[in-house]
Structures are given as C-alpha cells and as structure tokens.
Amino acid sequence: MDPYNLNTGPTHTTPSSTSSSTGNRGAFRASESASTSLRTGGPTNILAFLESVSAYCARNTDFLESVSAYCARNADFLHRIHRIFDAFDAAHARAERTEARNAQLEHQLLTAQNTIVFLRQNDFEQQGRIQELERALAERRREQRTAWIEDAVRIVGWVLLGIYALAFWIDKGAVEAIGHVYKYLFCL
C-alpha cells in the first residue's frame, strides 16, 4: 500500500530523456502531495512515507545503473578525446614557437641581404666580406628549410597519431589500414 501516492512515476529501465523527465515530474508531484498531506493534517505515518520513497527508488535501480554505465562510457570517450586535443595543443604551441623562430631568421636574412647590397654598391674592395655574408645567408636559408621540414613532419605525425588513436577507439579493424599508411609515409 502506498499512502503517499508515490507510484505516479513510471518504472525506468533505459536512460530515455522523455521517461526520465516524466518520472521526475511524477516523483516531484508525489513528494509535494505527501508534504502537503503532512502539513494539512493528513496521514502522519512517517515510516510508511519512507517505505514509499524506498520502493520508488528500488523500482528505478535499473534506470540509475544504466545511466551510470552510460556516463562511465562517455567519460572514457571524453578522456580519450581530451588527450588527443592535448596533443594537438602541444603541436600548435610548437608551431607557434617555430613561426617565431622563422620570423627571427627572416629578419636576419633581410638584414644580411641589405648589408650585401650596401657593400656591393659602396665598397667593391670588400669582396671577401660579401662572400662570407653570402655563405652565412645560404646557411641560414638551409636552416630555415630544415626547420620547416622538421616541423611539417612533426605536425603530420601528431595528426596521424591522433587519427590512429581515434580509429582504434571507433573501429579496431581500421587500425591495420592506417598502420600501413603510417609505415608507408615514414618509409619514404
């Protein structure tokens, strides 16, 4: 017997938003009805009220367990995605540092070019200095190209690693195909 009419909410077996909202409204109306009944001089059997609440919670145990399992699965997924985005953030930070270094190299290159032009126009006797500056300019250009290639390979590697991890979580069968592509790219 349910003197506080807590049976108005449906029994939940799946984490459905519609049934959950309906059950919550039913529980709220039942609790409000019981509280009003207690305040207005209705039945005062507190033990029966607590038993009704306990029975309502027992009927929704499967629903609460399924919600808990669903949240646990999503928490694992979000944790994996969070790690992938952390890797992307780290790659982005390295790219920004590389861009700053490249800007500094570009400034040095421009300074060297201006110096070469000035020396060629104003002092033809300093050919040795000009050749030294040209060698330094060529060396800086090689360093800049090497830095660009290294950063491009590093960023591509992080992206492929993120795709590989995401594919492993979604479909383990796709891991072999992506693994072959990964090996092919790094064997070139």
pLDDT attached to residue 186: 62
- 14 is in which domain, residue-wise? 6-59
Q: How many whole angstroms separate alpha carbon 42 and alpha carbon 25?
A: 22
**In this structure, are 53 and 76 located in the same domain?**
no
Evaluate whether residue 67 is within a structural domain.
no
Structure tokens belonging to residue 176? 């072999």
**In this structure, are 27 and 84 located in the same domain?**
no
**In this structure, are 114 and 147 located in the same domain?**
yes
**In this structure, are 166 and 93 located in the same domain?**
yes
Evaluate whether residue 64 is within a structural domain.
no
Structure tokens belonging to residue 139? 């060396």
Is pLDDT at 102 greater than 60 in this prediction?
A: yes
Evaluate whether residue 65 is within a structural domain.
no
**In this structure, are 104 and 141 located in the same domain?**
yes
Evaluate whether residue 66 is within a structural domain.
no
**In this structure, are 177 and 122 located in the same domain?**
yes
Percent share of the chain, pLDDT over 70 = 59
Is pLDDT at 166 greater than 80 in this prediction?
A: no
pLDDT tens-digit map of 46-75: 888 888 888 877 787 777 777 777 777 777
Evaluate whether residue 109 is within a structural domain.
yes
| Domain end point (choices 20, 36, 59) | 59
**In this structure, are 14 and 54 located in the same domain?**
yes
| Domain end point (choices 59, 80, 102) | 59
Pick the closest to residue 144 from 115, 112, 101 (CA basis). Answer: 101
**In this structure, are 20 and 85 located in the same domain?**
no
CA distances from 45 to 2, 40, 55, 92 (A): 11, 14, 16, 65
Evaluate whether residue 46 is within a structural domain.
yes
**In this structure, are 133 and 173 located in the same domain?**
yes
pLDDT tens-digit map of 75-85: 777 677 778 88
Is pLDDT at 121 greater than 60 in this prediction?
A: yes
Q: Which residues contact 97 (CB under 8 A, 6 or more apart)?
A: none
pLDDT attached to residue 90: 83
Q: How many domains does the chain have?
A: 2
pTM of the full structure: 0.30
